[in-house]
C-alpha cells in the first residue's frame, strides 16, 4: 500500500516535518510557497517549489493564489498521480506522537462509538472529555442543542480518518478566545463516528484514494477551506471517523481576531450549506465566490 504525507510550509523544515521525513513507510511531499527559502531541502521527501507547481498547472496555481495553505491541493494531486492509496494531510506545527501512522484505519472496517443525532450536524469535540469545546466549522446555531446520549458500537468502513490533536485543539476563534484550552483528549472516547455530517480539518487527516476527486481545499473562503471540503465529501456519502490523538499541536502564532474575521463566512453559512448539501452536493457552488469556483473546476479537470 502506497502511503503519502502532504503538507505545506513557508519555513525551513520544522521539527514536525523532520519527523515525518524520517518515516520510511511513508512518502513525504512538501509544497512550498513564495515565502519558502529557496534553499529548502529534505532528507528523503519531495519538495515541490513554486516554480514546480506553476509548471504542473499554471492556471490552477493562479486561481489558488500564493501564500495560502490551499497550495496543499498540488500535493494532493501529485500524491494521487503517484498512486497513493492513503493520503495523509498534516500541518507543519503538528508533531507526531508515537502512535501516528501505526495503524492505518482508512479503507478498513472498524468498530466505532456511533453517535446518532436528530441535528443537522455532529460535533466530535463535544463527544469527548471536553464537552464545553466545539470543532471549528460546527454551526453555531446548533451549539446549545448538542446532545450526546450513550453511543452504540457499530462497524463502519473508514473513508476519512480525522485524527485528533493534543495541545491546542482545532476549535474556532470564538471558542479559543473564551477557553484558551490546552487539551489532552482521553483515548477511550475514540474512534467516533456519526449518522450525520461533521466538520473535519486538514491538519491531521488521512484520505482514501477514492475520496480525492471530491476533496478540494477551497481558496478565497477564509478558514472554511477544509471545513467545506469535509462537508462536500460527506455529502457524497463518504464516512469520516475521528480517531484518538496522534499529534501534539504546538500551534503557529495566530491573531485570533484575524482568525475570527476569516471564519465569519462559516458562522453565517455553515448550517444552510449543510442543509443544501444534503439535497444536492453541487449546491456548494452557490456559496463559493467566483475565483473559488474557477479553482475548483481546474482541480477537477485532473480527474476527467
Range of the domain at 172: 3-303
Report the number of distinct structural domains present in the chain: 1
Q: For the segment 196-240, what is each residue's pLDDT rounded down to a tens digit? A: 999 999 999 999 999 999 999 999 999 999 999 999 999 999 999
> For residues 28 and 46, what is the distance between their CA atoms, to the nearest angstrom?
6
On whether the CB atoms of residues 199 and 119 are closer than 8 A, the answer is no
CA nearest 205: which of 220, 226, 187?
A: 226
Q: For the segment 37-61, what is each residue's pLDDT rounded down to a tens digit? A: 999 999 999 999 999 999 999 999 9
pLDDT of residue 241: 98
pLDDT of residue 11: 87
Read off the C-alpha cell for 223.
478558514
Average pLDDT (109-136) is 97
> For residues 198 and 195, what is the distance between their CA atoms, to the nearest angstrom?
9
DSSP letter for each residue of 132-146: T--BTT--GGGGGG-
> For residues 33 and 35, what is the distance between their CA atoms, to the nearest angstrom?
5
On whether the CB atoms of residues 245 and 193 are closer than 8 A, the answer is no
Q: Which of 7-16, 122-131, 148-157, 189-198 has the lowest mean pLDDT?
A: 7-16
Q: How many CA atoms lie within 13 A of 194 on its CB side?
A: 25
Q: For the segment 245-303, what is each residue's pLDDT rounded down to a tens digit? A: 999 998 878 899 999 999 999 999 999 999 999 999 999 999 999 999 999 999 999 99
Q: For the segment 137-183, what is each residue's pLDDT rounded down to a tens digit? A: 999 999 999 999 899 999 999 999 999 999 999 999 999 999 999 99
- Give the CATH number of the domain where residue 260 resides: 3.90.550
pLDDT of residue 283: 98
pLDDT of residue 275: 98
Average pLDDT (81-90) is 97
Mean per-residue pLDDT of the chain: 96
Reported confidence tier of residue 118, pLDDT bands at 50, 70, 90: very high
Amino acid at each position: 500500500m502506497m502511503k503519502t504525507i502532504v503538507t505545506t510550509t513557508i519555513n525551513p523544515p520544522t521539527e514536525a516535518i523532520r519527523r515525518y521525513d524520517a518515516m520510511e513507510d511513508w512518502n513525504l511531499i512538501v509544497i512550498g510557497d513564495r515565502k519558502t527559502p529557496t534553499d529548502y531541502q529534505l532528507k528523503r521527501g519531495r519538495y515541490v517549489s513554486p516554480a514546480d507547481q506553476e509548471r504542473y498547472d499554471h492556471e490552477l496555481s493562479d486561481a489558488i493564489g500564493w501564500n495560502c495553505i490551499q497550495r496543499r491541493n498540488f500535493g494532493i494531486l501529485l500524491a494521487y498521480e503517484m498512486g497513493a492509496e492513503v493520503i495523509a494531510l498534516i500541518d507543519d506545527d503538528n508533531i507526531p506522537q508515537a502512535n501516528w501512522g501505526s495503524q492505518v484505519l482508512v479503507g478498513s472496517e472498524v468498530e466505532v462509538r456511533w453517535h446518532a443525532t436528530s441535528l443537522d450536524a455532529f460535533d466530535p469535540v463535544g463527544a469527548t472529555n471536553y464537552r464545553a469545546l466545539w470543532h471549528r466549522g460546527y454551526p453555531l446555531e446548533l451549539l446549545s442543542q448538542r446532545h450526546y446520549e450513550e453511543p452504540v458500537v457499530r462497524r463502519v468502513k473508514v473513508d476519512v480518518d480525522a485524527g485528533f490533536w493534543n495541545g491546542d485543539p482545532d476549535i474556532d476563534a470564538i471558542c479559543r478566545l473564551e477557553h484558551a484550552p490546552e487539551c489532552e483528549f482521553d483515548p477511550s472516547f475514540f474512534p467516533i463516528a456519526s449518522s450525520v455530517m461533521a466538520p473535519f480539518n486538514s491538519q491531521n487527516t488521512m484520505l482514501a484514494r477514492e475520496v480525492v476527486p471530491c476533496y478540494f481545499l477551497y481558496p478565497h473562503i477564509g478558514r472554511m477551506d477544509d471545513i467545506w471540503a469535509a462537508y462536500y465529501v460527506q455529502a457524497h456519502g463518504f464516512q469520516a471517523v475521528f480517531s484518538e490523538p496522534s499529534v501534539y499541536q504546538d500551534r503557529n502564532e495566530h491573531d485570533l481576531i484575524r482568525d475570527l474575521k476569516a471564519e465569519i463566512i462559516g458562522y453565517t453559512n455553515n448550517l444552510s450549506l449543510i442543509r443544501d448539501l444534503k439535497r444536492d452536493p453541487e449546491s456548494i457552488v452557490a456559496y463559493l465566490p467566483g475565483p473559488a469556483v474557477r479553482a475548483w473546476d481546474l482541480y477537477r479537470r485532473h480527474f476527467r
